A and B are shown apart, each in its own frame.
Chain A
Amino acid sequence: MPSPKPFAQILCDPTGTTESLFGLIDTALAAGAKSLFLLACDANGFTPEAVDTKLRSVGVPVFGGIFPQIVSGSRTLLRGTIVCGLPVPATVETIERLSDPAQDYLIQTRRLSGRLPKGSSLVTLVDGLSTRISALLESLYEALGSDHPYVGGGAGSLSFVQKPCLFSNSGLLVDCAQITALELPIQVGIEHGWQRFAGPFFVTGAEHNTIHTLDYRPAFEVYREVVEAASGRRFDDTNFFQLAQGYPFGVARLNRTMVVRDPLLREGDSLVCVGEVPPNQMVYILKGDADYLLEASVTCAQTATRSSGRGVLALLFDCISRTLFLMDRFPEELENIGGHLPTGAPLLGALSLGEIADAHRPCLEFFNKTIVLGILSQPERPTV
């Protein structure tokens, strides 16, 4: 029996040049794509000047982002581009000014309610270095609720310099959120595998994504004491992120569950994280164990594949810091995931700055150091 025709046309280019990007776009369009999902590596150095004209000329909806690394099957690319031509249309909406403290995102997200197809799956991408991602997601969930499943992550650069990182028909966007509705069911898995290690600590001073004080002491002072003692390394002679990536924070929730927050950089005695840290809450410092993390990838894939429909495309948003932590064992994570995917559901995705999903979780969350896997499926056709 011949294998069924692939649902999506996935075109991969390892060179990361604009010419290759444009060529893949043209190829996908020529093959009849009704929408384009673009994933590119930060190392490509794509700029608005270089790509905006082409993006504006594309006649079908365009969405996607630039990430530290991207994933195609079992491969990760440090440089390169993936163009995924989808045979279904997409509704792409943008919310701007994602770091503006004066913005009330509920007004904007309520407008989306009438524009998005009912029950559609929302690929939710954000500029991962924006400071009000959690506020946006809170408003998005307030306006749309659990009528839609969500999957996505934070785009951007590991240089932690905010720059245009979201693809759209208007060109590359910065400090924005992009919500793309696909009229396909999706099953989502979310896992991280990080374990409690030190704490609890009370967040006695925090603002958006910056922790100022823990237990009424400078946040970095508390954090350094724990991490330096555990790692045997010192922040004075080690790059902050290299050392901190193994010791994220866990924001405590009821029943010992946690939402992970990745310390990104130090500003004086404060710690800047990927995603907001609410004040007056309890946090732990977590520690990674490669086996636990890899176990989480299996659990995640198992959850995501509980779909009743025919899986046609797997979208992965896996935190870049997991790669940095697992290093040469990271391919195992992709193998764990790939090994559970249904036949005919190719894997593509990004190693992201924060992950977004709501399945089996309270409300919509912005996660760090987490695997979010969504399997898009087509309902089984009834047999005659």
Chain B
Amino acid sequence: MMTSPMELVSIQYALALLIGQDLEMQSMLRKFLPPALKLLNCRSGHIWLLPCKAPLEAEQPPCYSYPSLKTSLRERFPGLAEHLAHPTATRSAIPSPGEIVNADGNFYHFLPIGSSGLLVLVRDSALAPAHLQALTPVLHRLETACQACLQHTYVEVARAAAERAHKEATQARETAETASKAKSDFLAMISHEIRTPMNGIIGLTDWMLHGELNGTQREHLGMIKSSSHALMEIINEILDFSRIEAGTLTLNRAPFPLRDLFHDIFTPLVVWARKKSLHFHWNIAPDIPEALEGDAGRLRQIMLNLVGNALKFTEIGEVAVSVSLQAPTSAGECTLLFRVSDTGIGISPDKQSLIFEAFKQADSSISRRYGGTGLGLPISAHLIKLMGGALRVESELGQGSTFYFSAPFSLPQRLAPPKDTASQPLPKPQRLLNVLLAEDNAINRLIVQRPLAQAGHTVLVAENGQQAVEVWQAQRPHLILMDIQMPVMDGLEASTLIRARERSEGLPAIPIVALTANSTHADREKCRAAGMEHFISKPMNIRDLLVLLEEIGQTLPL
């Protein structure tokens, strides 16, 4: 039966609208081919796509068949397979356009999909030339849709690869971060373990130096004390570095007098400079406010590091420190420029970037000759960054170095009067107290116990938090000196328990002083949350402890 042009155009129209309903190749072809076969009265259809216009290979299976091929093409349609394998069929990318082959009781219609594929329609009878002509533009559209699907696949594959790479990178970073944190935790733990006996050594040495000694003994003890402090500095640097890596290093903010602070920092260094016959001086510009607000402890650490390095690496000449206003004082804030210059060995330009990297010094011979962990400058640089500035260096080999940085400081409303404890004699207690000392380390107990006893206080001892709670319950001391890390029950838990019992029994709050080697802001917050309102940092200064006891004693009811 003849098909009218109108019907043919309508079929062409319907076929065209079946194309490109999906961007996924199989799905697109599946939405096209089965209804197209029905429209064209075909029993089956097979599509080959030929990337890069490669010729169709003899046994190449179709990329889509309707209905599905459950066996090989050769087994199911031997005539078709034979024709595809025939040299005349494969000499070009596809068999002759519009070729119709009668085999296997079927009429196979070979229709090019543009220049990049082949559609074979299987019918009981041959299509008329007009039908084949009507299919040509439709199959050009199919080619475009197939290319869009291929493009989409490439994009999807690339996107999946990018996603996979991103995921792997994230995993690698997380793994590295976990490893880094584990390392930092390990360093912190080791540092703490070393600090505890070091506190004992320093404390006992300090205590013995207060006793009666001959000249040699005093000299030897002085050397022990000096060596111990040097070792503590190294340990503190490792601890700081581990905190930086773990991202837990934070700054404390409190008002402080800059000039007094510099005086305290540099006075001992003057002695060192004098021993090396160096001229060491510092200058603070007169327009700098007397009081600033910031982390005085960390500024001390930075200046000690920079000036200490300058003195270490300078044999002849001078070390000079200057502080000037970099930006005019604005409402409640000023930015200071700190410079530390020396006439020392200097650093070559190619090594200048290395010195801010952890564990690296400009030259390996430096560490052999001058010692040091190589952590001081990276730590200082990080602290300055936390303060809002950046540490920089200008230097030439053999011509000395200048380290400089700027940092903003707040201007406090008022400054508390300074405590000049160093020049005062050990305070005589106005009131003798019953002090409960909770400390698991026997040497540390001794360091605290002896001076307090000598001052006339009574010291009760507990070796862990649980014992401390029991002694507090039984003997009601005036105050508690509470170590934080203890076996059985730590200081935080013991303090929390004591505060809870005080509340439930309606007792007044006993002052609890935290004895802590960890003095970060977060550590202090934990102590406060547990009910400890005072802090003494380890290694402990006896004078500071006695002064604190005196202050607390004055607040206690008679």
Contacts and interface: CB of A to CB of B under 8 A. Distances in A.
B43 A254 contact: no
A254 B109 CA distance: 15
A268 interface: no
Nearest to B27: A104
Nearest to A259: B38
B1 interface: yes
Given A253-B39, A254-B131, A200 B7 contact: yes
B10 A363 contact: no
A158 interface: no
B42 interface: yes
B3 interface: yes
A76 B10 CA distance: 41
Contacts of A110: 68
Nearest to B128: A255
A131 to B, nearest CB: 17
Interface string A341-375: 00000000000000000001111010000000000
A238 interface: no
B38 A253 contact: yes
Nearest to A362: B41
A362 B7 contact: no
Interface in A207-257: 252-257
A124 B37 CA distance: 21
Given A142-B67, A145-B68, A254-B11, A362 B40 contact: yes
Contacts of A252: 7, 10-11
Contacts of A74: none
Interface in B1-42: 1-3, 6-7, 10-11, 13-14, 17-18, 30, 34-35, 37-42
A113 interface: yes
A252 B10 CA distance: 9
Given A254-B11, A362-B41, A362-B42, A278 B3 contact: no
Contacts of B7: 200, 252, 254, 256, 282
Given A113-B70, A141-B67, A363-B34, A254 B3 contact: yes
B131 A281 contact: no
A281 B14 contact: yes
B68 A143 contact: yes
Contacts of A363: 34, 37-38, 42-43, 66-67
Contacts of B39: 253-254, 281
A177 B68 CA distance: 21
A145 B37 CA distance: 13
B13 A362 contact: no
Interface string B469-483: 000000000000000
A26 interface: no
Nearest to A201: B10
Contact of B38 (A144, A256, A362): A362
B90 interface: no
Given A254-B3, A278-B35, A146 B17 contact: no
Contact of B17 (A200, A280, A362): A280
Interface string B75-98: 000000000000000000000000
A256 B10 CA distance: 12
B19 to A, nearest CB: 11
Contact of B66 (A142, A254, A259, A280): A142
A173 B168 CA distance: 50
Chain A, interface residues (CB within 8 Å), range: 20 to 34
Contact of A278 (B2, B14, B123, B131): B14
B3 A255 contact: yes
B410 interface: no
Contact of B10 (A141, A144, A282): A282
A114 B278 CA distance: 96
A222 to B, nearest CB: 16
B44 interface: yes
B11 to A, nearest CB: 6
Interface of A is mostly: mixed
A252 B13 CA distance: 13
A362 B3 contact: no
B135 to A, nearest CB: 11
Nearest to B125: A255
* Residue of B30, B41, B67, B131 ringed by the most chain A CB atoms within 10 A: B67
B38 A365 contact: yes
Chain B, interface residues (CB within 8 Å), range: 20 to 34
Contacts of B18: 280
Interface string B124-159: 100100010000000000000000000000000000
Nearest to B42: A362
A146 B44 contact: yes
Given A278-B35, A280-B13, A280-B14, A254 B70 contact: no
Interface string A4-38: 00000000000000000000000000000000000
A49 B17 CA distance: 47
A282 B66 CA distance: 23
* Residue of A110, A278, A280, A363 ringed by the most chain B CB atoms within 10 A: A363
Contact of B41 (A146, A202, A257, A282): A257
A103 B59 CA distance: 34
A142 B41 contact: no
A362 B40 CA distance: 8
B29 to A, nearest CB: 11
B1 A145 contact: no
A25 to B, nearest CB: 36
B1 A256 contact: yes
B10 A362 contact: no
A49 to B, nearest CB: 40
Contact of B3 (A113, A256, A279, A365): A256
Nearest to B66: A142
A267 interface: no
B67 to A, nearest CB: 3
A5 B2 CA distance: 49
B67 A143 contact: yes
Nearest to B35: A278
A145 B71 CA distance: 12
Given A144-B67, A146-B67, A278-B35, A254 B14 contact: no
Contacts of A335: none
A364 to B, nearest CB: 9
A254 B41 contact: yes
Interface string A38-62: 0000000000000000000000000
A282 B70 contact: no
A311 to B, nearest CB: 24
Given A253-B39, A254-B40, A145 B3 contact: no
Nearest to A360: B124
Contact of A282 (B14, B34, B67): B14
A22 B239 CA distance: 89
Contacts of B67: 141-146, 363
Contacts of A281: 10, 14, 39
Nearest to B17: A280
Contacts of B6: 200
Contacts of B34: 138, 141-142, 363
22 contacts: A110-B68, A141-B67, A142-B30, A142-B66, A144-B67, A145-B67, A145-B70, A146-B43, A202-B13, A253-B41, A254-B39, A255-B1, A255-B41, A256-B2, A257-B1, A280-B13, A282-B10, A282-B11, A362-B40, A363-B38, A363-B42, A363-B67
The 3 closest A-B CB pairs, nearest first, are A145-B67, A282-B10, A280-B17
Interface of B: 1-3, 6-7, 10-11, 13-14, 17-18, 30, 34-35, 37-44, 66-68, 70, 123-124, 127, 131
Given A254-B41, A363-B38, 9 more contacts: A110-B68, A141-B67, A253-B41, A254-B127, A255-B3, A280-B14, A362-B37, A362-B41, A363-B34
